Amino acid sequence: MKTITMRVDDSIYQMIKTAADGQRRNISNFIEYATLQYLASSQYISDVEMNEILEDEELVKNLEIGLKEMENGEYTIV
């Protein structure tokens, strides 16, 4: 377990404290919870966005080519 020290504006601290109190969490636990929620939600895309990606034939074709090149070791990380 790690300890993190952070500085926040008084108004932001009050918002965090109010939210933590509303969930009956201490501030440290609330910040951890909120961070995990943000990270989990930001790593996924909506169905609408995924459909837009899948409907772009050129993009899908390039992604498939890139996947095959990666599987064959024919890629360069830049």
8-48 pLDDT, tens digit per residue, is 999 999 999 999 999 999 999 999 999 999 988 777 788 89
Distance CA 39, CA 70 (A): 27
For residue 45, what pLDDT is reported?
Answer: 82
Segment 62-68 mean pLDDT: 91
- Alpha helices (H) in the chain, listed in sequence order: 10-22, 27-42, 47-55, 57-71
For residue 5, what pLDDT is reported?
Answer: 93
Question: Is the separation of the CB atoms in 22 and 30 below 8 Å?
Answer: no
For residue 22, what pLDDT is reported?
Answer: 96
Q: What are the boundaries of each domain within the chain?
A: 10-42, 46-78
Sign for the pseudo-dihedral over CA of 13, 42, 47, 56? positive
